[in-house]
Structure formats: structure tokens, C-alpha cells
Chains A and B, each alone.
Chain A
Amino acid sequence: MASQLVRRLARSRLDGILSSSSPNPSFFNRSFSSESNLIRATLFPGDGIGPEIAESVKQVFRTADVPIEWEEHYVGTEIDPRTQSFLTWESLESVRRNKVGLKGPMATPIGKGHRSLNLTLRKELNLYANVRPCYSLPGYKTKYDDVNLVTIRENTEGEYSGLEHQVVRGVVESLKIITRQASLRVAEYAFFYAKAHGRERVSAIHKANIMQKTDGLFLKCCREVAEKYPEIVYEEVVIDNCCMMLVKNPALFDVLVMPNLYGDIISDLCAGLIGGLGLTPSCNIGEGGVALAEAVHGSAPDIAGKVCIKETLILYS
């Protein structure tokens, strides 16, 4: 039943995309012109239920006649010295070449001396924006039925820089870094996305009344980019207001752009609004037009193929 629903959705979305005029932006460096053009994409099936989901994705795509050719790469069992992790150099090169990828859930094996797989991917491919569209699925009833928003989260800096140290015993400092370059990058992407998808409003989420310089810089960058897109309404919302409005009336928001930590929390909150992480697509955008869609959940054994379908839809959007 789920696969039927999904097939219907996939077909309708595909029709929508192939029929509408698609822009040829610098972010997505591939041509979208005719159906005979085969798109090569890298697929990381991942662990746990990953391979199962990957199979169902491939099946759905085959049924929907999507012109895509998958290059599968598996996570190795030993550390590749060129990447310092379990991901091989070939896998990374493949993503860089194809510019499009789909990643299943990857469980980072516990051990010493290597980076987490997700972190490796993020750093090597310079994935700076995490895009999560959240819309209420027809047919899956939650307490919120009118959710239709996209959260765009800065993925590289902010509170998750990992720079912590113990000053003296019992006192710990953690650095939150905001740079102009990263903020501009993610703001540009957010506005570009809004324009490309016909979204009307972009809201920047911040706490600049307390963190004046850091979130102030983020806001300044967003404002600069907003001036270049006069047709899109731009607003700034303090994060506690945003949380409250999201749970009371999620229809108020359209596209949300945020620094790292707020983005993490708000995107998971939005995922909760529509039914959980099992139903949320997510895509990481990197420099040079790389797009890596992923499963946000873990390798849990009890989730059906719903997730990857949504991600592949976002791959096309």
C-alpha cells in the first residue's frame, strides 16, 4: 500500500518536473532537458536496513521509468588512508563526478582513529547546506495537517564546530563560530531555492537580541542576499517565537534559513510535525553543485521504504 502511494507520488512529481520549465542554475550542474539523458547518480546503500531501502528505491525508479543509472558504493571494512575513514577515495570521487548521490543510513563503526562517516562526507564534499522539505503527507494523519515548509540549515560551522576545552576543573568553554562566508553561502542557497521552487517567503531564524554579534552577522548576510531578490518576502524571526509559532500554526512559515544548532533543532521539530524522521527527506548541498540526498534516520530495522522515496523526490526537486 505504501509503495502504491509512493509510486503515485513519484509519477506525479516527475510529470510536474519534466513538464515545467526548469532553470539551468550554476548550483545544479546537470542538464534537465530530455528524457533520454541518463543521469548518473551515486548510491550508498549503507547499513542495517539500508540495502533493503536501496532496493525498493531502485525498484520504484525502474517502475516510474526514471532515467537514472546508479553507481553503487559500499562502505569499506578497513580504513582508506587517503580519506582517513571507511569511505574509499573511489566513492568520494564518484560523488564528485556525478554531482548527485543518495545515501542510506550509515552506522559509524565504533573504534579509534577515524572520523565519523557522515562527518567525512560533509568535510570532503564541502556540504554546506542541509535542506529538509517538510510537508504533511496526504493519507498520513498527524495533529498538523497544513505543514508545507522547507528548513535550510547551515551545516559546517556555528555551534557544532567541535571546539571545546576545559578552562579549569569544572568550567568548560565551547566556541560558536559564525563567518561571513558561510552565512552568505547558505543565504544565497536559501534564496535561490526559494526562487527556483516558487516559494514566496524566506524567514531567517536567529537569537540576535542575545547573541548580538554572532547571529547579528548571520542576519546581516541574509539581509544582503535578500536585497538581491526583491520579489521574495524576507523576514527575521527570533527563535523562541519561531518555535511557538511552529507548534501553533506551521502554515505561517515557508522557507526557513538558520545557523547550525537552531537548524538542527527546528528541522527535527518540523520532522516531528509531519510524522517523524522516517518520513522526512533530506538533502545536503555542496559547493560546485553537489547534492547528496540522505536518510536522516538510523539503521533501524522497523522502517519501511517510505524514507528513500521521499529523498529521491527531493533529488529531483
Chain B
Amino acid sequence: MSHRSFSILKRVITHHPNSSHLLSSQRSVTYMPRPGDGAPRPVTLIPGDGIGPLVTGAVEQVMEAMHAPVHFEKYEVHGDMKQVPQEVLDSIRKNKVCLKGGLMTPVGGGVNSLNMQLRKELDLYASLVNCFNLPGLPTRHENVDIAVVRENTEGEYSGLEHEVVPGVVESLKVITKFCSERIAKYAFEYAYLNGRKKVTAVHKANIMKLADGLFLESCREVATKYPGIKYNEIIVDNCCMQLVSRPEQFDVMVTPNLYGNLVANTAAGIAGGTGVMPGGNAGADYAVFEQGASAGNVGNTNLVEQRRANPIALLLSSAMMLRHLQFPSFADRLETAVKHVISEGKYRTKDLGGDSTTQQVVDAVVAALD
């Protein structure tokens, strides 16, 4: 229990982008390990589909260059499989941490999304996407620093659909107090541990009174337990409008499943694109790290052929993973190197306005590691 809180404390000190910059110049001894903490930790690695293998390959290269104490257990999973192979699930249960590229979900055809399956099996109920402006990357909006906490298991993505009569289809959106409460708790805990000042709940309770009303009730209850953190609520369409006009008003956002998807992708888009935003899925026992926002995490065939996928998102997610594993200085080094490469601007992939290949970006990051 204290072991875990120690790591969380480390995450507090080292997570905020500003503070990591500070630490690298101070170089004081902040992390006292227990003997044996430096032993290589096994981490499950799922390359996935599309650009997945490309970007996970990038992560592997950088990890090796840093001599990070992780070794990857690679498993092949593809989006058109019926379900996630049992050995992969066992491996994740053993290692507790996984790094994953994108898994493609075929549109409209009877295969259940493997991403959803993974989340349900491992009960990864919180999805976090951290959207922030990277120094040196020009975007239309400044001062963006939003963390979107999205409920990951129920809501509109329950997958419960049926055809009532030919031509009429129903889909169930399920909201439970249990899930709403735990996601609200996660959001407030995250805000508390990372020094965030405000949590905003995103909903559409004026129309879906019972469902989103239940979600809001749970959020309000949890908010009373954290009097130091401001809490407010915003309707989802107004939220999207505010995101594109004044995103600096948002800090941490907690949302049900569908709205979270949209809000996370919008926030990622305004802060620089989904190619650079890190994120992860966390549950009570396991954590799976992947590219933050889900749009484009499989990429298209062009990107794969030309090997021009953007590895930044997965690199930053793997930095989050390193911190989660309690290797904060490796995480810092990786993040500093990535930010240096971005701010320099010489090696950027197409979605950031440059035309480098994945490999060139990786080499630049490796070179920037100190």
C-alpha cells in the first residue's frame, strides 16, 4: 500500500510538464528505490494493426537506447480476430502493465471491437487522454492543458443492440451508479494527485434525464469529498463549442463513454493532433498504455507503406508507463528528448507539418537522449 502511494507521489512530482523541466536542471536525488527495483520489469507489448507495429517498434528502439529496465513480451493480436487470445490476457494479468498499438475494428460487420473486449476483460474502467500544447508546435489554440477522463466500460458502447422489426434497430445505453461513481472517484483522485484545480463533468442531462442524471449525481457526491477541487458541469454540445473557442477554461474533464470519445479527440485535435497525445487505460489491477485519442491510431495504408506514422504519442505514453512502473528518471529523460525533438522542428511527421519518416524521428529522439 505504501509502495503504491510512493509511486503515486513520484507521479505527482514528475508528471506536470513544467516540473519535469525543472527537475532535469536540478538533478537532485528524489527517488530512493528499494533494493531490486532496478530489475527489468516484463511488459506485454501488442503491436496491433496498421501503423501499430511501426510505432511500437519505435518505442522498442528508444527503450533499448536508454537501457530502460523493461523487457517486452510481444504478442500478435489483430483486429479481425474473434477475441483476444487467452495467452495475451494471461500475460497482461501476470505483468500488470501493457503497451499497445492500435487494433483495427472493422466497420459494420459482426466482429466485436477487440479494444472494447480487452477493456472489459481487464476491467480497465478509466481512459485518460492528456492533451497539452507542445512547445514549438504551432497550433490554433494556446494554453491547452486538458486531461480527459473517460468511462470505458459501459454507456453507449455496451454493444447491446437488436433489431426490433426489420428496419427498426435499438441500441441500449446503460449507465450504472457503480461505474459512474468509480470513474468520478478516479477523476478527482487524478486531479488531487496531479495538482489539478478543476474537474468538469460533461453530460447531456437536459435530454437524457435519467441516464446522464445518474452520472451527474455520482459526480456531485464525489465532488463533496474533495472540497479543494472546483467542480462544474457542462452540456456536451456547449462543451465542444467552448473547446474550439476557449479551451483554456478546462482542466480535468470526466465524461461517460461516448462523449468522452468525442471530447478527447476534439481536445487532442486542438492541442496538436492525435499523433502526439499520450494516454492510457487504467483499472484497479492493470494498466494498458496506448496512443491517447482513438482516432487514427491504426492509420491508413499510405502511412504504413511509407513508414511515416507519428511515434510521438506512443513514446509519450510509454513515458507515462515508465512512471507507472516507478522509473521516473527514465520517463523524464524520454519526455525531455521527445519535447526537444518537437520544439526543434527538424524531424516531424506529416501530421505535424513536416515530412520525416518514423525512423528519422526515432533517431532524432535517440540522439536527443542524454
Residues in A lying within 8 Å of B, measured CB to CB: 142-144, 159-160, 162, 164-166, 169-181, 207-217, 219, 236, 238-241, 243-248, 261, 264-269, 271-273, 275-277
Contact = CB atoms under 8 A, between A and B. Distances in A.
Contact of B167 (A181, A216, A239, A246): A181
Nearest to A168: B176
A174 B241 contact: no
Given A243-B262, A244-B269, A272-B241, 11 more contacts: A160-B207, A164-B208, A174-B211, A178-B168, A208-B107, A210-B116, A213-B161, A213-B169, A243-B265, A272-B240, A272-B242
A174 B240 contact: no
B173 interface: yes
Contact of B113 (A159, A209, A239, A245): A209
A268 B238 contact: yes
A179 B174 CA distance: 20
B177 interface: yes
A251 B167 CA distance: 34
14 contacts: A159-B208, A172-B214, A174-B172, A176-B170, A179-B168, A180-B167, A208-B107, A243-B269, A244-B273, A245-B269, A247-B244, A267-B237, A269-B241, A272-B241
A216 B266 CA distance: 23
B178 A170 contact: yes
Contacts of A265: 236-237, 240, 259, 262
A169 B159 CA distance: 22
Contacts of A238: 107, 295
B210 A165 contact: yes
Interface string B194-217: 000000000010011111011000
Nearest to B110: A212
Contacts of A210: 105, 113, 116, 156-157, 159
B240 A177 contact: no
Given A179-B167, A240-B265, A272-B243, A171 B208 contact: no
Given A144-B140, A212-B161, A264 B237 contact: yes
Contacts of B204: 261, 264
Contacts, number: 182
A179 B171 CA distance: 11
Contacts of B141: 143
A105 to B, nearest CB: 16
Interface in B21-55: none
B245 interface: yes
A238 B245 CA distance: 23
B109 interface: yes
Choose among B210, B238, B244, B296 the residue with the greatest number of A CB atoms under 10 Å from its CB: B244
A176 B176 contact: no
Contacts of B152: none
Contacts of A173: 172-174, 211
Contacts of A177: 168-171
B331 interface: no
A138 B105 CA distance: 41
A216 B108 CA distance: 5
Nearest to B163: A213
B253 interface: no
Given A212-B110, A247-B269, A240 B295 contact: yes
B98 interface: no
Contact of A175 (B140, B171, B273): B171
B322 interface: no
B312 interface: no
Contacts of B214: 170, 172
Contacts of A160: 207-208
